[in-house]
Amino acid sequence: MIAVIDYGAGNIFSVKNALDFLGLENKLTSAKNEIEAADAVILPGVGAFSYAMKMLEEKGLTEVLQKQAGEKPFLGICLGMQILFEKGYEFEETDGLGLIKGEVRKIILPGLSVPHMGWNRLVHRNDCALLSGLGSDGYVYFVHSYAAECEVGNISAYCEYGREITALVHDGGYVYGAQFHPEKSGETGLRILRNFAELITG
């Protein structure tokens, strides 16, 4: 079972819809015991970095998630990916979950509109299990104004939008993060979610 963390940040139902469509057993939850019992964790999120961290704190989920990230496949999506990092600067400097080294800062691009919103092409940088079976022409759907700045070794894929925008990250262990919305990225997105589910070992 994949635990989809329900902490009041964002449209978790579209993630659930996509997992259901793929026939992957899942549950929307914020219960510690269910998260611990799950085979994998998906941390979605839409909104602000500081708000998301506050919600996780209030629900007492910060430490549970930090621990689970070392024990089972763990995927952050959009804001859920951003809070995997050490720090964010949306509204105020806020500590993230600190699972991947790096910071999340506002995208500033003269002449280009922000939010970076729409379909952009994933450029593969490092081998990554989530990109298995995907060619170099896969487009995915982005909606964000902040982007992760991290070590090249953690970047599985980026996209071009005035500069390189971190798109898919991996800590080298169980933790993955997608800045885009795989649940809104057509066939390519569904394949990435299926690849993630395949990390679950029986």
- Contacts (CB under 8 A) with other proteins, residues 132-151: 139, 141, 143
| Least distance to other proteins, CB of residue 92, Å | 18
The answer to whether residue 25 forms part of the interface with other proteins (CB under 8 A) is no
Rounded CA-CA distance 138/19 in Å is 20
**Is 8 a binder of other proteins (CB under 8 A)?**
no
Q: Which two tokens stand for residue 160?
A: 């071009």
User: Which residue among 60, 118, 153, 173 contacts other proteins (CB under 8 A)?
Assistant: 118
Give me 146's structure tokens.
């902040």
State how far the Cα of 171 lies from the Cα of 103, in Å rounded to an integer: 14
21 touching other proteins, by CB under 8 A = yes
Which one, 62 or 119, has the nearer CB to other proteins?
Answer: 119
Burial 162-178, CB ≥16 within 10 A → b, else e? eeebbbbbbbeebbbbb
Does 119 participate in binding other proteins (rule CB under 8 A)? Answer: yes
Rg of the Cα atoms in the chain: 15
* Contacting residue, 60, 70, 153, 186, with other proteins by CB under 8 A: 186
Whole-number Å distance between alpha carbons of 109 and 113 = 8
* Amino acid at the residue 147: A
Phi first, then psi: give them for residue 54, nearest 5 degrees: -65, -45
190 touches other proteins by CB under 8 A: yes
156 is an interface residue for other proteins by CB under 8 A: no
At position 124, the amino acid (one-letter code) is H
Q: Measured from the CB atom, is 7 or 174 closer to other proteins?
A: 7
Strand 163-170, strand 155-161: pairing: antiparallel
Is residue 181 part of the annotated active site? The answer reads yes
Residue 17, interface with other proteins (CB under 8 A)?
yes
Residues annotated as catalytic are 78, 181, 183
Residues at the interface with other proteins (CB under 8 A)? 11, 13-14, 17-18, 20-21, 46-47, 113, 115-121, 139, 141, 143, 160-161, 183-186, 189-190
